[in-house]
Structure 1
Amino acid sequence: MGLGLLILGILLRFFIIASLGKFFTTNVTIRQEHVLKTDGCYKYIRHPAYAASLLSFAGFGISLNNQIALLVVLIAVRLAFYNRIRIEERLLVKHFGQQYIDYGKHTWRLIPFIF
């Protein structure tokens, strides 16, 4: 089960990154002619690539067959993602303004129905 979640998360992340096309970067930045993506996975989740990575890390933790390891992995990853999401969302609000604020009102940040 753990390995399956790990692979599923990796595949989903690749798909999500591909859907961003030229707007995907590893650095938090806005590219020229940047448009706010609100379709596909982004219709429901503002940060689906991070959600897919979180799924992968959960799969990794489960595959270790150790609840403490799973907890440590998920807490560490969640803290890192939370920090990065805060930085990204500040930049997106600065660039897109009310458009991003309105988008945030009807989407989940990372995990549907939870956060």
Structure 2
Amino acid sequence: MKPLHASSDSSRANATAGVYGARLRLWFPVLLFMLALGAYVWRRGDGVLWYELCWALGAFAQAAIRWPHVEANRANQVQRSRVGRLEQWLMFVVFMTLLCLPMLFVATPWLDRFNYVLPGQATWAGAALMVASLWLFHRSHADLGRQWSPSLEVHSEHALITHGVYRRLRHPMYASIWLFALAQPLLVHNWAAGALAIPGFALLYFLRVPQEERLMLETFGDAYREYMGRSGRIWPR
């Protein structure tokens, strides 16, 4: 999620598997999505709801946008890593609240006791937020290219990226996930599978971003300090 430029040239660094692991391949999440959607259509029949499908397709689109960068990141060479136990737990919480619980809700009736009802305008607002989230998520990855990293890591030969959506935002990828997290309870009308997305991602955002910015200051010094002065974290300055 960092605005970094990475090169693979480092004789002292090790290739990274990232938080996704070295063996995970695209076919596995695709299979999970297909199974969950198949179970959803089978159990709902004529009661399929467009806004729940909107969330599922948005989650799949988000994974499809990110996956080429996951594969490319595995070739990066890491010089310093801040991936500790806290980072792993925060990623686990986000994985559960933004993906696993809503997928469980879609595929099974086990969480139906926590359902709530929203007016139609709220679901349309959720769909609009989802579209905005996916656009910004795509642009953030496109502007970083192979330079993206999912973890708190410093790669060899970094350069600070300040063009594109990073011109006014230091963390547009976090901003896009905030939009996704806000859209989720408007599309998935369930306290466990929908509403928990907001505190789940907030926990990662408020604990991880200060560490990330300290790492950037250590790496780029005054250049990053100046960049902080003319850009906002997730809202344009």
- TM-score, with structure 1 as normaliser: 0.83
State the match for 2:90 in structure 1.
none
> Which has the larger share of helix?
1
The answer for the alignment partner of 2:201 in structure 1 is 77
Per the alignment, residue 135 of structure 2 pairs with: 11
Could you say which structure has the larger radius of gyration? 2
Note if 1:108 corresponds to 2:232: yes
- The Cα shift of 1:65 comes to 5.0
Match of residue 210 from structure 2: 86
What's the counterpart of residue 62 of structure 1? 186
Alpha carbons 2:165, 2:172 under 8 Å: kept? yes
* Cα distance between partner residues in 1 of 2:235 and 2:202: 11
1:62-83 C-alpha deviation (Å, 9 max, x unpaired): 223579x54x432331221122
Residues 80, 52 of structure 1: alpha-carbon distance in 2 compared, 3 angstrom cutoff? same
Is residue 144 of structure 2 the alignment partner of residue 20 of structure 1? yes
Give the total of aligned pairs. 112
> Larger deviation: 99-108 or 57-66?
57-66
1:12 maps to amino acid: L
Query: More strand per residue: 1 or 2?
Result: 2
Tell me whether 1-10 or 36-45 shows the greater mean CA deviation: 1-10
- Name the stretch that deviates more: 48-57 or 1-10: 1-10
Q: Which has the higher contact order (CA 8 A, sep 6+)?
A: 1
Consecutive unaligned residues in structure 1, runs of 5 or more: none
- What SS does the aligned partner of 1:30 have? strand
CA RMSD in angstroms comes to 2.2
Whichever residue aligns with residue 168 of structure 2, its letter is Y
Residue type at the aligned position of 1:61: P
Q: What stretches of structure 1 move > 3 A for 4+ residues in a row?
A: 64-67
Rounded Cα–Cα distance in structure 2 between residues aligned with 1:104 and 1:44: 10
Q: TM-score, normalized by length of structure 2?
A: 0.43
- The aligned counterpart of 2:223 is 99
Structure 2: gaps of 5 or more residues: 1-123
